[in-house]
Amino acid sequence: MPVSDPQPPARYTWRSVAAGLAALVCAIPIVVALLLGSAGGGSGATAQTTAKFTPLTRRTLSLLNLLVPPGNGSLVAVVEHPAKMRSSPGGRVFANVATHTQFGSPDAMWVVRLSGPWLGVISPLAGNGHVGWIPAADASLSRINWKLEVSLSRRQLTVLFNGHVRERYTIAVGAPDAPTPTGRFAVTDRLTTGDPTGPYGCCILALSAKAPHAISDWDGGYRIAIHSTPETSTIGEPVSHGCMRLTLPDGQWLLDHIPLGTPTLITT
């Protein structure tokens, strides 16, 4: 079952800003006309004035409409309208983007690049090590201050908030024949299992990362996750099918604090 994000940040939509800008642009000629009329009203003569207006170009409008929230946190896009994912800004379409993930969570993606009206995002649709591009007009933007860092050699998960370490957890990682993928990923789903005695414990953070093989007893197919486990003897060992395991209390803490879209960096 998907879990709602704790205290979701304010979102800035491309469409709402566009509407405000359009209203402002439309009001400019009226204001100018009123000013010109008041300037010539004292003489009783009709002023013959030629005003030169510079129209906003398509590129200028797109840059103005792409309102990036202030702050230093990571930029996250939540898909508000079905969209197409492209290999580059305006390039080849290779996937359809829905407003919700396969688990039913809002489709939130870590934004790693900006190009005019396009957002470069981390998504399982793009695959490990690749950036997909979606129109900014189809998403709302917000910032988050959380970050997850995983060291496979140390078998450690570090949780940072505003650049400062909040928690460190020992984790199980992928076995030699099913290694945990490395790279930059993002949290796509926050899920409760309803069965803390099961193989995934109480809590799951699904990631955009994909394994080269399907994971047994897991509805996510090739998707990698950070999840809890009741089998505490496996924690700290390279024994999983690629996922990262931690204790039930640690998994619950992550579920209570980590929002969708949180950047997750996995290194060797």
DSSP track, 201-242: -SEEEEEEEE-SSPPTT-TTTTEEEEEE-S-GGGTTSEEESS
Tokens 């080849």, residue located: 92
DSSP state of 16: H
Distance CA 148, CA 9 (A): 18
Q: Is 243 a catalytic residue?
A: yes
Helices 58-65 and 14-40, axial angle in degrees (round to 10): 120
Single-letter amino acid code for the residue at 167: E
Query: For the residues of 19-51, what is the DSSP string, one character each?
Result: HHHHHHHHHHHHHHHHHHHHHHTTTSSPP----
Marked catalytic residue, from 202, 203, 227, 241 = 227
Q: Would you call 148 exposed, middle or buried from its count of C-beta atoms within 10 A (0-12, 13-18, 19+)?
A: buried
Catalytic residues: 227, 243
